[in-house]
Chains A and B, each alone.
Chain A
Amino acid sequence: MNIKRIAVLVSKEFRYGSKNTIFFFAVIVPVALSLFISLLVGTLFAGRPRLGVADLGESQLVENLSGLDYIVLREYDSPGLLREDVARGALDMGLVLPLAFDPELKAGETPSLDVYTWGESLLKHRTTLGATLLRETIALAGYEALVETNIILLGEEPSVPWDVRLFPLVVIMTIVLGGTMVPATFVVQEKQKRTLQALLVTPVSMGEAMAAKGLAGVIISLVMGVIILTINGAWGGQPVTLLILLILSATMASAGGIILGLLVKDFSTLFTAIKSIGILLYAPAIVYLFPEVPAWIRRVFPTYYMIGPIVEVSMNNASWGEIYLDVIILCVLIAIMIAIAALVLRRTNLADV
């Protein structure tokens, strides 16, 4: 292995490979996914009841409701727009406050309220919104709460918010897209264009060519991993540990990409393979979505070791002592993957492809 030759090849991969569609996807998809998940967590997965208010006057109720974290409040200028949004399911409930709602309420008169409820809204959302409106309206009328509530938590299972559950999925997609797909695409592209034959006329060996492609994948995966951790504010207190883990995970992904690239004969087969084994690659991240599923299940999948330590360190601030076993397994997996890649390379005569 000649480091200088590999460096030249890596720079070539970036120069020409960056025009490749998959390279583009490896850069764009993780960022887009991260932003998309932020949007979803803020709305859909939050699972909060969504209330819309069209205030025809200047009711204090709107301000009081806007301070509640457990509902999503949206204000409307027009009752018509509010009704439309309830009808299409953008809101669970819509409330039209009349012009003199507050003065009438405080004077003990009977103000009228138009309430629209989306027919597909969950009962628990209707109950929550109904109770909230009752409490806030009574508070606005000047009455105090009649009881004190003392909340006691039972059990030891921690609450796992959706952004934390989805984080492993973003991490694994970032690592797989950059680390696996990019090197695999580079290899298949060379096979299809038969450019490896030309390369072998030079002093470059096949091993060096593959190492360069793998290294390019590691670099893309690492850079994107750094960007994703930054976007998600997930560096925690151990940035160096996370960098090391990202490099190891990217290396395993990249070795997998080289094996895949060597085994498949064209892009069509490569994408069909990815399409089908994708579910297995992402399986541990899918298991993370359901905290009630026993943790050992995700450990069955080799890709768990690519994301598990990263998730533990960034989300739970785990120490080396807590993750060392997973890291050892990751290193063993990397060694196995590199050995398989070398074996496949030896058995594949790429020059004749």
Chain B
Amino acid sequence: MTDKHYHIEDNELLQRFYADKNNEWLGILLQRYTLLLLGVCMKYLKDQEEAKDAVQQVFLKAITELHKYKVDYFKSWLYMVAKNHCLMKLRDKGKHSVEINERIMATPDEAENKNSYLEKDIELTNLAAALQQLNKEQQECLTLFYLTKKSYNEIVAHTGYTLLQVKSHIQNGKRNLKIILLKQATVK
């Protein structure tokens, strides 16, 4: 898992590929994500061999697609390629129905806009007040996770919630916090 090109950023590798269309740059780039891709495919397909095959197909697809059009946010694009590939496989098996749009995958995802809250320099008092508006569970999990820096397992032990509940309270809490702050911003 060592990478002698470690010092080169993903974006730089991608630019080098676009400059000379040499697949070796893509090889280096994709290898960085083999482990993560294997995990994503396993999460959806629930079978080790199928997950491995899926990663191979995702590699092929990525190489082909990157020759066709330009991708700006490689990591999120690759994640969408892998996720949609797995969902498509599940759909073929009749396990899942999903609408897939490859072009949407190539556009930058919302991740880049998510930091706009911070860029606008949110007042911390608003954030602290918004935190108080969440339900008890979400408030507790967010505080333990972000403010006291407890790990998931420590939060499980501390609160008695299951691991799944802890993760869900953190995710939902974050989402609700953003909604509250957005509402506050539009009222102003």
Asked if A pairs with B, the answer is no
Which B residues are within 8 Å of any A CB, using their own CB? none
